[in-house]
Structure 1
Amino acid sequence: MNVPALVKDILVEVLQMPADTEFDADTPLLGAIPEFDSMAVVSVLTAVEENLGIAVDDDEISAETFETFGSLCSFVEEKV
């Protein structure tokens, strides 16, 4: 499973970004992308849960999880 590709697809869809948007591990997310607000965080988590069949508890997430593309991918990889 290509977690970075899946996470990118989810971000592009939820944030309504161009499909050719490039992300690398250091790409900042929370606070750097205006569309990435608290509602987008919930939507991203819901999409991750639905696409991967996992459950994320509220106490498992923090702002650091969404700090960069790499931190979000690492979190998802740990959950899979």
Structure 2
Amino acid sequence: MDTYKNVVRILDEVLSLEGRSASFSRDTALLGAIAELDSMAVVSLITALEEQLGISIGDDEIDGDTFATVGALVDFVDAKLKD
């Protein structure tokens, strides 16, 4: 499974970016940089990641750093997939 591609696909889907995520790189800033990623979208994104990737994310496992960049989110998801 290509975690990067899956995370970017889920970001595009949940945030209704209509393909804008195709230009994302690991360094692309998320939280505070993408208007669509507000607090409600974070909840929806976490739910989508859990459902589509079969992972469980506890409230105490995430903070702003998790959503700082695409790469940070991908690394977090990768670690959860290995649990």
Do they fold alike, i.e. is TM over 0.5? yes
Matched with 2:77 is 76
Deviation at 1:18, TM superposition (A): 2.2
Runs of 4 or more, structure 1, over 4 Å off, are none
Instruction: Report how many residues are paired.
Output: 80
Q: Which has the higher helix share?
A: 2
Q: 2: distance between equivalents of 1:20 and 1:61?
A: 25
Root mean square deviation, CA, Å? 0.9
Q: 1: distance between equivalents of 2:40 and 2:62?
A: 14
Matched with 1:56 is 57
Letter in 1 for 2:36: E
Q: 2: distance between equivalents of 1:74 and 1:52?
A: 14
Q: 1: distance between equivalents of 2:20 and 2:46?
A: 22
**Percent identity between the aligned chains?**
52
Deviation at 1:15, TM superposition (A): 0.8
Give TM-score, length-normalised by structure 2.
0.92
Q: 2: distance between equivalents of 1:52 and 1:20?
A: 22
Q: 1: distance between equivalents of 2:17 and 2:36?
A: 9
Q: 2: distance between equivalents of 1:74 and 1:58?
A: 17
Unmatched runs of 5 consecutive residues or more in structure 2: none
Give TM-score, length-normalised by structure 1.
0.95
